[in-house]
Each structure stands twice: as structure tokens, then as C-alpha cells.
Amino acid sequence: MLADPAGARVRLWQARRRPGAQAVNEPGDHLESSVDPEICTRQAQAPDGFEHVIGSLAALPEGEAPRWHVAFTVADRDDAAATAERLGGTVLGTSDTDWTRTATVRDP
């Protein structure tokens, strides 16, 4: 277990026989992003031994601890949120923009 410059815990792994995500822009795909751009932009280069860094930046809400956030691509945001609730999750909020519709869900 490591920590990024903001103190959020992260894990690294070597793919070997499990190469990780091989698909993009399809339901079930994932994206990870740090929520503290001022500190973590210093990591906008690949660490030694790695070839690529893929991610995004978002402002850290005041008073929130550093963390990593995982987002998944789904075919229908409303259906996915309803399924999460039916399975015991909590929909914390939704957002619509010109390019995407999101739901923030907490697991049970």
C-alpha cells in the first residue's frame, strides 16, 4: 500500500497473467481519478518503470479527506442507479452535463 502526495492510499500491481482493463467506453469499464489536483498534478508523469498515466482531475471538496474515486461506464445511468439501490446501495446524487450523466453511489 502506498500513498499519493495528498495522503490518499493507492495500490500498485504487476499485471503478469491478469493484464487489467483492456476496454474503454463500454459498460462496465472503469476510470480512477484523484480529487486533489493541486497536489497530485505533480504526478502527471509516469513513475519509473511505467509507460502511461491515464486519469482526470477534480477539485477536492472542502473538509474532505484525500481519496481515490472509481467511476464505471454504464449503458443507462438511471437503470444502474436503480439497480444499486435495489441491491442495498445508496444514490448520493446525480449530475447531467452536455457530455455525460453520472450518479454517485455508496455501497451498502
The residues spanned by each domain of the chain are 1-73, 76-108
The residues with which 69 forms a beta bridge, in sequence order, are: 33
- Residues pairing with 66 in the sheet: none
Give the per-residue pLDDT at 62. Answer: 85
pLDDT digits (tens, 9 = 90+) for 14-49: 666 666 556 656 665 555 444 555 555 554 455 556
Q: To the nearest whole percent, how much of the chain has pLDDT over 90?
A: 20
Q: Which residue has the higher pLDDT, 108 or 103?
A: 103
Q: How far apart are CA 85 and CA 105, in angstroms?
A: 8
Residue 108: band (very low, low, confident or very high) from pLDDT cuts 50, 70, 90: confident
> What mean pLDDT is predicted for residues 61-88?
85
| Distance separating alpha carbons of residues 21 and 72, to the nearest angstrom | 12
CA distance 65 to 58: 14
* Cβ contact 103:91 at 8 Å: yes
This model's pTM is above 0.85 = no
Q: Residues 9, 3: contact at Cβ < 8 Å? A: yes
